[in-house]
């Protein structure tokens, strides 16, 4: 059953800590299997990827058919209904416009010694974007991963998307086309991550891998990190809603179910200062579960991980929310902007009752690849900066080296790094001889 907590109860802190510590990830011991898969792909390349794809996705490929051909992509894109194409185009345009504003600027200045300092931003050369396939096939994830990379200036964009039984999702391929993706491989799982990280005879290695996946994909991303960059290790989806009495409980219930229907391990939490609202939302969730298409998944999520928390005032709600550090936070209150000022930890904030989280999943503009499992305490959602590197720039002049060089020499000597100090002293001696 969902957890019901009252912040005034004597045992609230212990119960809340239990809620925070609950492990929702469906994480069987997959690391050993993933290690074997990665080693196999590194050793045998295409042959390993082809065998594993046949085993897990029931699809027999060759080196020539690992990727969708341009003709296949065109045929799939052509069957997308106009209303779906227009919706995807609207989403792509809004996502691109939002992320273009994230582009940072290079900087250069001269300090009071005459040294020139600064930094410049350059994109990674190649990015690999993992897109879930099968039942969880999300064209929106293609846009959210590929468009920031494109805006950043990444030259080569590669997608891997599992296509069980050879059944492709035309919308996924259209999204890839709209986002400027170069190549789409019909492979998935840990073998796709290994191929992207180390390369095969057919698949070129990339510099960074982004995108969500199952436990095997997450474990593979952990293992290849360091060889390549990764965005994050994403866990099950989550939403926290702070709602006051002036809300439609059915709206709130649907917002919570919108995340519950993702995964049986997803989590939906309501914090409210109104007991009647708490009861009404609970009733609305149960009522909507009776007819929801993914009721089995959403019902299991709500039953096993759902929570309703009663508080005396919204300031307490904000404090508790910061401790949860939710992936998605809805502020369905009279003054959401003011309450948002009290929020320090959240992946994405949705302000007001007219801003359902689902807008953020598709057409809002901000990225929907967000930190989960309380990692919003120290990380951010995917963005342009994830595909950029900052390189610092330093240019000394004889005068600036004379001004600060001796301090560098002193610190080098204090650290017993003789050559460091000598490299500076040689130049200072030369200046003294001039």
- 284 in Cβ contact with 302 (< 8 Å): no
Q: What pLDDT score does 350 carry? A: 98
Which sequence positions are flagged as catalytic? 327-328
Distance of alpha carbon 270 from alpha carbon 308, whole angstroms: 5
The architecture CATH gives domain 31-230: 3-Layer(aba) Sandwich (3.40)
The answer to which of 137-141, 146-150, 356-360 has the lowest mean pLDDT is 137-141
The 10s digit of each residue's pLDDT in 156-182 is: 999 999 999 999 999 999 999 999 999
Q: Is the CB of residue 91 less than 8 Å from the CB of residue 179? A: no
pLDDT digits 0-9 by tens, 67-125 = 999 999 999 999 999 999 999 999 999 999 999 999 999 999 999 999 999 999 999 99
Q: Is the dihedral of CA 331, 88, 94, 151 positive or negative?
A: positive
Q: With 60 as the cut, is the pLDDT of residue 135 above it?
A: no
Could you give the residue range(s) of every CATH 3.40.50.1980 domain in the chain? 3-25+236-364, 31-230
pLDDT of residue 29: 79
- pTM of the prediction? 0.94
Mean pLDDT of 301-318: 97
Confidence of residue 386 (pLDDT cuts 50, 70, 90): very high
**Per CATH, the architecture of 3-25+236-364 is what?**
3-Layer(aba) Sandwich (3.40)
Q: What is the mean pLDDT of the chain?
A: 96
Compute the average pLDDT of residues 134-149. Answer: 87
Q: Do residues 361 and 140 make contact, with C-beta atoms less than 8 angstroms apart?
A: yes
Q: Compute the average pLDDT of residues 426-432.
A: 96
The reported pLDDT for the residue numbered 235 is: 86
What is the mean predicted confidence (pLDDT) over 221-242? 95
- Rounded Cα–Cα distance for residues 288 and 291 (Å): 6
Q: What is the average per-residue pLDDT within 314-328?
A: 97
Q: In this predicted structure, what is the pLDDT of residue 202?
A: 98
Q: Cα(375)–Cα(379) distance, rounded to whole angstroms?
A: 6
The pLDDT, as a whole number, for residue 138 is 87
Rounded to an integer, what distance in angstroms lies between the CA atom of residue 203 and that of residue 211? 18
pLDDT of residue 234: 84
Q: 409, 424 in Cβ contact below 8 A?
A: yes
**What's the maximum distance between 2 C-alpha atoms anywhere in the chain?**
88
Query: In this structure, what token pair is assigned to residue 234?
Result: 């994403």
pLDDT at 279 exceeding the cut of 60: yes
pLDDT band at 25 (very low <50, low <70, confident <90, very high): low
pLDDT of residue 27: 61
What is the average pLDDT across 218-227? 96
């Amino acid at each position: 059953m969902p957890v019901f907590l009252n912040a005034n109860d004597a045992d609230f802190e212990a119960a809340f800590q239990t809620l925070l510590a609950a492990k929702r990830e469906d994480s069987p011991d997959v690391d050993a299997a993933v290690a074997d898969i990665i080693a196999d792909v590194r050793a045998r390349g295409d042959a390993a990827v082809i065998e594993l794809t046949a085993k897990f996705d029931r699809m027999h490929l060759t080196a020539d058919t690992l990727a969708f051909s341009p003709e296949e992509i065109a045929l799939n894109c052509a069957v997308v209904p106009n209303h779906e194409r227009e919706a995807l185009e609207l989403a792509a345009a809004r996502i691109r416009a939002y992320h273009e504003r994230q582009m940072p600027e290079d900087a250069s200045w001269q300090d009071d010694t005459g040294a020139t300092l600064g930094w410049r931003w350059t994109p990674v050369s190649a990015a690999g974007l993992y897109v879930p396939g099968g039942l969880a096939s999300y064209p929106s994830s293609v846009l959210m991963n590929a468009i920031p990379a494109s805006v950043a200036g990444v030259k080569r964009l590669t997608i891997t998307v599992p296509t069980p039984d050879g059944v492709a999702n035309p919308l996924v391929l259209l999204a890839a086309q709209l986002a400027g993706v170069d190549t789409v491989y019909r492979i998935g799982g840990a073998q796709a991550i290994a191929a992207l990280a180390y390369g095969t005879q057919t698949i070129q290695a990339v510099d960074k891998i982004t995108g969500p996946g199952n436990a095997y994909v997450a474990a593979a991303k952990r293992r290849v990190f360091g060889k390549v960059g990764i965005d994050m290790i994403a866990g099950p989806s989550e939403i926290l809603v702070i709602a006051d009495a002036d809300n439609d409980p059915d709206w709130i219930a649907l917002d919570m179910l919108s995340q519950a229907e993702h995964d049986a391990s997803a989590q939906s939490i309501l914090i409210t200062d109104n007991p009647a609202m708490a009861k009404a939302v609970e009733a609305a969730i149960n009522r909507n579960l009776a007819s929801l298409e993914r009721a089995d998944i959403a019902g299991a999520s709500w039953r096993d991980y759902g929570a309703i928390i009663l508080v005396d005032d919204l300031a307490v709600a904000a404090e508790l929310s910061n401790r949860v550090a939710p992936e998605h936070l809805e502020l369905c209150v009279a003054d959401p902007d003011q309450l948002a000022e009290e929020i320090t930890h959240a992946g994405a904030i949705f302000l007001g009752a007219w801003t359902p989280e689902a807008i953020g999943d598709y057409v809002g503009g901000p990225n929907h690849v967000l930190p989960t499992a309380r990692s919003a305490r120290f990380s951010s959602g995917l963005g342009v900066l994830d595909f950029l590197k900052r390189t610092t720039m330093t240019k000394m002049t004889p005068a600036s080296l004379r001004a600060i060089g001796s301090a560098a020499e002193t610190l080098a000597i204090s650290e017993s790094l003789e050559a460091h100090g000598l490299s500076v002293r040689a130049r200072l001696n030369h200046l003294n001889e001039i």
